[in-house]
Chain A
Amino acid sequence: MVKEIQNKANEILQNTFASERKFSLDKVGEPILWANGPKDALHLIKKFQDHIDLKIDFLSDLTAYDNTDKKDGEGRFVVVIQLLSMQTFIRIRLKVLLKANEEMETLTNIWPAANWLEREVFDMYGIIFAGHPNLKRILMDERFHGHPLRKEYPYKQREPFSDNTKINLSNSTRGSSSHE
Chain B
Amino acid sequence: MNNLNDNFPSDYVDLTDKIDQTKQGNDFYNPNVLINLGPSHPAMHGTLRVMCRVNGETIEDAKCEIGYLHRAIEKLGEVKTYHQWIVYTDRLNYCSALNNNVAYVMAVENVMNITVTERCMWIRVICMELARIIDHIICVAINALDMGAMTVFWLFYHWREEAYTMIESMCGMRLTTSYARIGGMMYDFPDDLIPRLKKFVENFPKAIDEIEGLLTSNRIWIDRTKGVGKLSAAEAIKYGLTGPCLRASGVNVDLRRDRPYYTYSELDFDVVVASGGDVYDRYLVRMEEIRQSVRILKQCILRLPNGPLWVDDKRVRIPDKIDVYTKMEVLIHHFKIFMEGINVPPGEAYTCVEGPNGELGFYIVSRGGPKAWRMRVKSPSFMLFQHFEKSILKEKIPDAVSILGSVNVIAGELDR
A binding-site residues for B, Cβ under 8 Å = 2, 26-28, 30, 32, 57-61, 63, 65-66, 69, 71, 80, 82, 86, 89, 91, 93, 111-113, 115-117, 120, 124, 137-141, 148-149, 155, 172, 174-177, 179
Contacts of A63 in B (CB 8 A): 363, 374, 376, 378
Q: How far is the CA of A138 from the CA of B68 in the complex (A)?
A: 10
Task: Give the secondary structure class of B's interface.
Answer: mixed
Instruction: Looking at the assembled complex, report how far the CB atom of B271 sits from the nearest CB atom of chain A, in whole angstroms.
Output: 13
Interface assignment of B382: CB less than 8 Å from any CB of chain A: yes
Let me know if B347 and A115 touch, CB within 8 A.
Answer: no
Residues of A within 8 A of B238 (CB): 111-113
One digit per residue, 1 when the CB lies within 8 angstroms of any chain A CB and 0 when it does not, for chain B 264-306 equals: 0000000000000000000000000000000000000000000
State which of B61, B65, B79, B240 has its C-beta within 8 Å of the C-beta of A155: B79
Give chain B residues whose Cβ lies under 8 Å from the Cβ of A111. Answer: 238-240
The 7 A-B residue pairs with the shortest CB-CB distance, nearest first, are: A113-B240, A65-B374, A139-B67, A61-B378, A27-B349, A116-B386, A89-B258
CA distance A80 to B361 in the complex (A): 14
Say whether B240 contacts A60, CB under 8 Å: yes
- List, in ascending order, chain A residues with CB within 8 A of B78's CB: 149, 155
B232 at the interface (CB under 8 A from A): no
**Chain B residue at minimal CB-CB distance from A144:** B67
* Closest-CB distance, A41 to chain B (whole angstroms): 17
Contact between chains at A2 and B75 (CB < 8 Å)? no
Contact B348 A27 (CB under 8 A): yes
Chain A: which residue is nearest B378 at the CB level? A61
Contacts of A30 in B (CB 8 A): 349-350
Residue among A26, A27, A60, A63 with the highest chain B CB neighbour number at 10 A: A27
B79 to chain A: closest residue by CB: A155
- Provide the bound-state CA to CA distance between A57 and B65, in Å: 28
Asked whether, in the complex, the Cβ of B67 is within 8 Å of the Cβ of A148, the reply is: no
- Which residues on the A side are within 8 Å of B383 (C-beta)? 113, 116
> Given that A2-B259, A82-B363, A175-B61 are contacting pairs, would A91 and B53 also be in contact in the complex, using a CB cutoff of 8 Å?
no
Q: List 19 A-B contacts (CB under 8 A).
A: A26-B348, A28-B351, A58-B240, A59-B240, A61-B361, A61-B363, A61-B376, A63-B363, A63-B374, A111-B238, A111-B239, A112-B239, A113-B240, A113-B383, A116-B382, A138-B66, A155-B72, A172-B51, A179-B8
Across the two chains, which residue of chain B brings its CB closest to A29? B349
Which of A60, A65, A71, A86 interacts with B378 by CB under 8 Å?
A: A60
Question: B22 within 8 Å of A by Cβ?
Answer: no
> What residues of B have a CB within 8 angstroms of the CB of A59 in the complex?
240
Q: In whole angstroms, how far apart are the Cα atoms of A176 and B33 in the complex?
A: 10
Instruction: State whether A57 and B237 are in contact (beta carbons under 8 Å apart), knowing that A26-B348, A27-B347, A175-B53 are contacts in the complex.
Output: yes
